[in-house]
Amino acid sequence: MPLRTLFEKIWDAHVVTQQPDSPAVLYIDLHLVHEVTSPQAFEGLRNRGLKVRRPDKTVATIDHGVPTRTGENGRLSFADELCIRQINQLEKNCQEFGIPLYGLNHPDQGIVHIIGPELGLTQPGMTIVCGDSHTSTHGAFAALAFGIGTSEVEHVLATQCLLQRKPKTCEIRVDGVLPTGVTAKDIILAIIHRTGVGGGVGFVFEYTGTAIRALNMEQRMTICNMSIEAGARAGMIAADDITFEYLAGKRFAPQSEAWERSLAKWRCMKSDDGASYDRVYTLDATKLSPMITFGTNPGMGVPINGSVPRPTDVSDSAQKASLEKALAYMGLQPGQPMLGQKVDVVFIGSCTNGRLSDMQQAAEILKGRKVAEGMRVLVVPGSQEVKRQAEAQGLDRIFLNAGAEWREPGCSMCIAMNGDQLEPGQYAVSTSNRNFEGRQGKGGRTFLASPFTAAAAAVAGKIVDPRTFLS
């Protein structure tokens, strides 16, 4: 047997058939569904008179349009009728096609990429898809997980398979010990800064190295989550004891004898020593600082002590035009330091940084402090379970006492479909994954950063180095 990468092992085990000059028919072990990218797929099934082939391998939740606020009557306040209609449609579709739904008011509802791992649905060696580009998150468990479009959602519902061309592999090796105050979010922002937002197109990333191995599962998910922001099809991390410890006892994880059998298989879910990749990047974790973006894509980032790049320093004319366009949108001056930039809103949450450890990091800085005058701070747990755990630890009190809002779970201001959004011109430090123009509300301007950096900005009212708040 030739030496194989983790990706190649999973790929090989899932090819049902491959005809000459055609894409592979790839089997999918877990299909996650949400309300925004599925209605047209279910309608397609109806039009063709098809059933869902494996409802037992399909799980749905409601996250994108769900309100995070309750009204005076204690009920969720929806942004508009369209959100309600889309959510009702998913409820109807799940009922008609026999799909389990972790819907509104369900104790396990949450962002699709948070609840999959939390429930133990996400497991090593699996192929996992969802009509959502941040499906790459699940790769943290040595799974091959990627986002698909609505046509492909229909394909998987109908056949449990997808037509796929084999991507190339790219190793991203991060060695060394991370300095204090520097997090998984800073690692991935530094990686995307290096590769650019198109550098990963056609590749599956595998993150390796001592800095990656030292991360816990939540931090590994943050890294894999943003693989798509470099354009990569997926991001993965080999399974190890940290993976197994996370999964042990989770509701849908194998139990007793089945656990032992699974463990034996999962231990092979790593690249063979000496297996080769089509491309390799290396990064020295010891040299990293907290990162922050200044522009309108996640590759436009700098260390927090850095300054806004000058278009005059860029030789490539297209790059220069992009930078000029980004700075005009962001209202920033070339050469301006990031430190001290004013901020109006802080958002802590999303499938990138909406897990318990993210809430803990934010709380570490907000504890005993107050958010700056006039600053709006939203803390949105990624799931009902994250919310319960955070409240059990008293984190909600820390946020509320500091003057932040503690909300119900959902995607919230990461995608701004549910009414949580920036006003035109406002600046936000956000722990989410995209700083595209208008992403957090039309005319809103986003700086992506870690929960530490976001919480520090909430207290200071401007961009500051979070390490000044950490002992």
Partner 1 sequence: MEPFTKITSRVVMLPVNDIDTDQIIPARFLKVTDKAGLGANLFADWRYHADGTPNPDFVLNQPAAAGALVLFAGRNFGCGSSREHAPWALMGFGFKAIIASSFGDIFFNNALKNGLLPVKVDEDTHRQIEELLTEFPATEIQIDLESQTVQLPAGKTAAFPIDGFSKACLLKGTDELGYLLSFSDQITLYEEKIKVEL
- Contacts with partner 1 by CB under 8 A lie at 16-17, 21-23, 25, 27, 36-37, 39-40, 43-44, 48, 53, 64-65, 80, 82-83, 85-86, 89, 131-133, 147-152, 154-155, 158-163, 165, 197-198, 201-202, 228, 231, 233, 258, 261, 297, 318-319, 321-322, 325, 415-417, 424, 434, 436-439, 442-443
Bridge partner list, 378 = 347, 405
* Distance, CA of 97 to CA of 438 (rounded, Å): 36
Residue found under tokens 């799980």? 59
Question: Helices (H), strands (E): how many in the chain?
Answer: 16, 19
Neighbours of 184 (CB within 10 A): 29
The nearest distance, CB 464 to partner 1, in angstroms, is 28
Q: Which is nearer to partner 1, 197 or 356 (CB)?
A: 197
Q: What angle do CA 148, 251, 36 make, to 5 degrees?
A: 30
Residue position matching structure tokens 């990091």? 361
What minimum distance in Å lies between the beta carbon of 367 and partner 1?
33
Closest separation in Å from C-beta 428 to partner 1: 15
Rounded CA-CA distance 288/185 in Å is 11
Residue 94: what are its φ and ψ, rounded to 5°?
A: -65, -40
Q: Which is nearer to partner 1, 198 or 340 (CB)?
A: 198
Residue type, 245: E
Query: How many Å apart are CA 180 and CA 341, to the nearest integer?
Result: 23
Q: Which is nearer to partner 1, 153 or 348 (CB)?
A: 153
3-state class (DSSP) for residue 280: strand
Strands (E), 209-336: 234-236, 279-284, 291-293, 301-303
Classify each residue of 143-180 as buried b or exposed e, where b means 16 or more C-beta atoms within 10 Å of its C-beta: bbbbbbebebbbbbbbbbbbebeebebbbbbbeeebee
The total number of residues written for the chain in this structure: 471
* Residue 364 contacts residue 458 (beta carbons within 8 Å): no
Alpha helix stretches (DSSP H) within 112-179: 112-118, 150-159
Q: Which is nearer to partner 1, 79 or 242 (CB)?
A: 79
Smallest separation (angstroms) from partner 1 to the CB of 17: 5
161 within 8 A of 63, measured Cβ to Cβ: no
72 or 81, CB closer to partner 1?
Answer: 81
Sheet holding 24-27, edge to edge: 15-18, 24-27, 161-164
CB of 79 to partner 1, least distance (A): 9
Q: Quick one: 387 or 439, whose CB is closer to partner 1? A: 439
CB 204 within 8 A of CB 167: yes
Nearer to partner 1, 101 or 395 (CB): 101
Residue 388 C-beta: closest distance to partner 1, Å: 28
Among residues 89 and 307, whose Cβ is nearest to partner 1?
A: 89
Q: How far is the CB of 42 from partner 1 (least distance, A)?
A: 9
Smaller CB distance to partner 1: residue 144 or 178? Answer: 144
Q: How far is the CB of 426 from partner 1 (least distance, A)?
A: 14
* Smallest distance, partner 1 to C-beta of residue 335, A: 22
* Cβ nearer to partner 1, comparing 294 with 406: 294
CA dist list (Å): 280 to 197, 207, 229: 17, 10, 18
Q: How far is the CB of 337 from partner 1 (least distance, A)?
A: 25
Based on CB atoms, which residue is closest to partner 1, 23 or 331? 23
To partner 1, the closest distance from the beta carbon of 53 in angstroms equals: 8
